[in-house]
Structure 1
C-alpha cells in the first residue's frame, strides 16, 4: 500500500512536532528566559552572589560573611503547590542583584519577603488592616488619613522633627474582604536601632491613642495597627508581591505622595552609591518601579554624618538622658540591677503559679506617662483568650499614676485588650515613686549640665 508524501509528514512528523513546540511555548510563557545580572565595572557594584538556602539561619550566616554588609536576605514562599503552608526558601543577594531579577519575574510568581534582621537599622513602618465584612461602615481612607496625622504629631513630639505625607510610602493590598496597607515612614536623618525598638515606639503611641483606631473582629474590638510585625528576623512582604494563594498584590496606593526624588533612596544598596558621587561615568537612570522598591525596604538605610540612630529609650524621650530608661536585663527570675526591684518582684508573683514559672525578662520605664512595662518569659497565659499563646508573649503595664497594673500581650488579635487592673501594694508603690523622683532629678541635672556646656 502506497503512502502519499503529505500523509507521511502530517501524520508521523508534523502533528507530534507541533505538540512539542506548543508545550515548549507554554513552558516559556510560564517561565520566560531572563537576562543575567552582570554589572559593569564602572558601577562598582557587588558582582553576582545569588544563593538559595532552605534554612533561614544558614542564609543569615552567609550574608554576614560579607564584610561590607551589602548582602541581604530575602525569603520566598515555597513554589511547590504541595508544600505545607508557610514553608519558605531563603535568598542571599545584594539589593541590586535581587531587584534586577525581581523586576523580570511574572506577577503571579512573586511571593517574596524582606527579612528584617535582628539588630538591623530600619525605618519606622506599619502594617494596618481590618476586615471589611466586620466593619462595613468604616471608611478606610479616612482612618488612614487620621492615623497618619496622629503619627506625624507623635514623631514631632518624640524627635522634634516635622514630617508629612511626602515622607510616607503608602502601599496597598486591599481586597474585597480585607483592608490592608503598609506605611513606610522615612523620618529625615533618623532611623531606629532595630525593628523591636520600632515596635516599642508603635505600641507606645497605640497605647496613647486609646480606642481612636479600634476596629471590630468577629468577637472583639482591636486596633487596626498590627503590632505583631516587629519580631526578630521578621518576614515583611515586598512591594509587587502577593501572598501565595492570594491575588492581592502590594502596590503603591494611588494617593501616595511620597517624594521619590531623594538621592539617598537607592544608596544603601551599594556602599559606592553615596550622595553627590562625582563620577566620570553617568549612572543609568532609575525607573519609578526601582525607586519604589528601594524606598519600600525597611532596612535600606544609608549612614551619613547627620544620621541619628534612635533606640527604644530615645524613642520614648529623645530629649532626655537614656539613663532614665532601663531595658534588656538578663532573663533570670531576679534582676539585681533592676531599678524597680520591689515592683518587679510584685509582677513576678503575678506570673508565677504552681503550673507555670514566669519571670521578668526585661523592663522599660516611660518617664512621661510614669509607666513601667515588664516583658514576661516562661508564661504566655493571656486573660483575653483564657489560655497560653502558642508563640506570642505577654507583658504587664504598671501605671504608677493610677496605682495599678494590667496584663497585655503581643498577639495582633489581642492588641486592644487589657486585663482587669490589679492594685499595686502601697509599700511597692511608695518605693517605685521614690525611684521615679530620683530619676527625674538626675535627668534635670543632666539637662542643666548639657545646657551649660552648650552655652
Structure 2
C-alpha cells in the first residue's frame, strides 16, 4: 500500500481532504485517519498534516526534541478514548501534592466507571499518565486504554460531567461531627469560571461554600474509598486569583480540539509531555527480528496509547444518555434528590416511576439486620447493560452505608460495597460485590416475588420462544 502524507495551511483544508477521501473510499488513504497540526520553526505558524500513522511516527521520532511542537486534532464525530487534561497553578495551590492528587483522581474515576457498569471494570494499569509539569504549573494528561470507545469527544465530555456530578454529590451530602461543627464558608462566588461546560460551572458554584468544611474530617467515602479531604482537592484555585476551577480542564471536550502529543512542547517552551513517574500502564513487548528500529516497538505502543483517537477494532460504544446533562439542569445535593437514598441518579427516578414494586423490594433487601431497621441503606442504580424495545433486561443496584454482606465470605466486607443485579427478563436477582477477591463471584440466583414483577404478567406465554 502506498504511503501518503499531505500538509495544509488551514485545518479546514485538512478536514475537507479527510472527508473527501472517506467519501471516495480511497484504498490508498484508508489508513489516513489522523489530522495533526504542528508549529513550524522558526516563525511558529501552524500547519496541518494528514498522514499515514506509521509514516508520521517514523518521521516524528527523527525530529530533534526542540522541534517537536505537534498536536493531535481530536476530530469531530470520531471514536474517542476517555481522556483528561489535569492542571493547576502551583503558586495558587502550594499545599497540593500533584502526583498524589492525580492518583486519587484516577482512583475516583475508576471506581465510578466500575460501579456504573461491569463492562467498565479497569485498573490504574489501564491508564497512561503523561507529565508536562513546569516550574509554574502542574500538568498531567490521562488517556484511558478502554476496550470500547465513546462515540466522540463530546460524549466523553458528558461522561466527565457525570463524574464531576458524583464528586459534587459525595461532598454535599457527607455528614459527620467534624463537618457539621464547621460552618459553611461565606466565600465570594465568582461569576465566571474557566470551564466551558455550564453544567460543570454550576456544580462548582453550589460546592464553593462547602469546601472548607472538610479540613478536620478524616472520614472515607464509601464509594471511592478516598478521604473526603482528598476529594475536595479535585477543586483547585485559579492562578489569577479569580476563583476556583476543576482539577480536570472541562474546556478540552470541544469539536476538533487540539491535544498536545507525547514528546511535544508548546512553541518556544521546553516542557514536553513524557511518561509520568506514577504511570503504571506498560506496553506489551513482542519479540522482533531487529532491535534497531526507530522508534522501538515499545516507543510505538506508548505513542499509539497516547493518542485520544480510538485506534482499535470497535465492538461497541460506551453509551452516555443525552438527557442526563443539560445546560439548564438544576444541581441538587444527594439528600434532596430522594428522601430514601444517599444518592439517586436520573435512572433511579425513572425506574422508581416505572417499576415502584421492584425498587421497594430491592430497598428492603438492603436492610441490615445489625442496624436499626428504620435506617435506610438505599443504593445507587446504574444503567441497564442491555436495552431492547425500551425494556431494561438487567439493572444493577449498588448498596452503601453499613450493608456490605457478601454471600461468598458470609460476612460483611470491611470496606468494599456490594450490589445486586436484577434480571428482569427472568425475574431474578443475584448478589455481586466490588471487592477484588470477589471479582468473579456471583451469588445465588433468587426469584423475585410475584408482587415485585408485574411486568412479567404482561408478557406473552411464548415470549421466550421469540428469540429476544
TM category (shorter chain) comes to 0.5 to 0.7
User: Which residue does 1:75 correspond to in 2?
Assistant: 37
Pairing 1:60–2:15 present: yes
Per the TM alignment, residue 399 of structure 1 is displaced from its structure 2 partner at its CA by 4.5
Aligned counterpart for 1:451 among listed residues 425, 448, 456:
425
1:94 to 52, 55, 58: 52
Q: Please say if 1:215 is aligned against 2:217.
A: no
Counterpart Cα distance in 1 of 2:306 and 2:162: 24
Mapped pair 1:231 → 2:254: yes
Determine whether 1:397 maps to 2:321. Answer: no
Call closer, same or farther: CA 1:404–1:260 in 2, change over 3 Å: same
Please show how residues 195-214 of structure 1 align to structure 2 within 5 Å: 195-210=153-168, 211-214=232-235
Is the 2:149–2:310 Cα contact (8 Å) retained in structure 1? no
Is the contact made by 2:87 and 2:139 (CA closer than 8 Å) also made in structure 1?
yes
In 1, the alpha carbon distance for the partners of 2:271 and 2:106 equals: 23
1:299 has 2:309 as partner = yes
**Alpha-carbon distance in 2 for matches of 1:207, 1:403:** 14
Q: Structure 2 vs 1, CA of residues 136 and 441 (structure 1 numbering), >3 Å: closer, same or farther?
A: same
**Corresponding residue number in structure 1 for 2:318:** 310
Aligned partners of 1:191 and 1:310 also within 8 Å: yes
Aligned length: 285
CA-CA distance at 1:92 after TM superposition: 0.6
* Residue number in structure 1 paired with 2:148: 190
* TM-score (normalizing by structure 2): 0.55
1:153 to 100, 104, 111: 111
Q: 3-state SS of the aligned residue for 1:309?
A: coil
Name the SS for the 2:269 alignment partner: coil
Compared CA separation, residues 436 and 133, structure 1 to 2 (3 A)? same
Q: Which residue of 1 aligns with 2:126?
A: 167
Look up the match of 1:392: none
Aligned-partner SS, 2:160: helix
- Partners in 2 of 1:401 and 1:140 — Cα distance? 28
Distance 1:123 1:402, change over 3 A: closer
- Alpha carbons of structure 1 residues 177 and 401: separation in structure 2 relative to 1, 3 Å: closer
CA distance in 1, matches of 2:353, 2:311: 34
Aligned with residue 114 of structure 1, among 72, 75, 81: 72
What is the SS of the residue equivalent to 2:329?
A: strand
Please give the alpha-carbon distance, in whole angstroms, between the structure 2 residues aligned to 1:233 and 1:159. 29
Whether the 8 Å CA contact 1:398–1:404 is kept in 2: the answer is: no
Deviation for aligned residue 1:62: 1.5
User: Contact conserved, 1:294 with 1:300, CA < 8 A, in 2?
Assistant: no
Residue by residue over 1:218-272, the C-alpha shift from the partner in whole angstroms, topping out at 9 and shown as x without a partner, is: 1212111001111011111000000012110100112211031188xxxxxxxxx
Cross-structure match for 1:138: 96
- Deviations 1:32-68 (CA, angstroms, capped at 9, x unpaired): xxxxxxxxxxxxxx42311110111211122230536
Return closer, same or farther for 1:96/1:451 CA change in 2, 3 Å cut-off.
Answer: same
The match for 1:346 is none
- Please say if residues 173 and 179 of structure 1, whose CA atoms lie closer than 8 Å, have aligned partners that are also in contact: yes
Q: C-alpha displacement at 1:132, in angstroms? A: 0.5
Match of 1:246 among 255, 269, 273: 269
- Measured after TM superposition, the shift of residue 148 of structure 1 is 0.9
Q: What do residues 128-178 of structure 1 show as CA deviations (whole Å, max 9, x unaligned)?
A: 000011111111111111111101101112231321121011100001110
Structure 2, unaligned runs of 5 or more: 169-231, 338-345, 357-383, 394-422, 427-463
Task: Give the structure 2 partner of residue 43 of structure 1.
Answer: none
| Aligned-partner SS, 1:134 | coil
Measured after TM superposition, the shift of residue 207 of structure 1 is: 2.3
Separation (CA, whole Å) in 2 of partners of 1:193 and 1:283: 38
Inter-CA distance 309–437: structure 2 relative to 1 (3 Å threshold): closer
Length-normalised TM-score, structure 1:
0.56
Query: Could you say which residue in structure 1 is the equivalent of 2:190?
Result: none
Return closer, same or farther for 1:52/1:154 CA change in 2, 3 Å cut-off.
Answer: same
Larger radius of gyration: 1
- Bigger RCO of structures 1 and 2 (CA < 8 A, at least 6 apart): 2
* Unaligned 5+ runs, structure 1: 1-45, 264-280, 314-326, 328-363, 366-372, 375-394, 406-431
3-state SS of the aligned residue for 2:391?
A: helix
Q: Is the 8 A contact 1:74 1:90 kept in 2?
A: yes
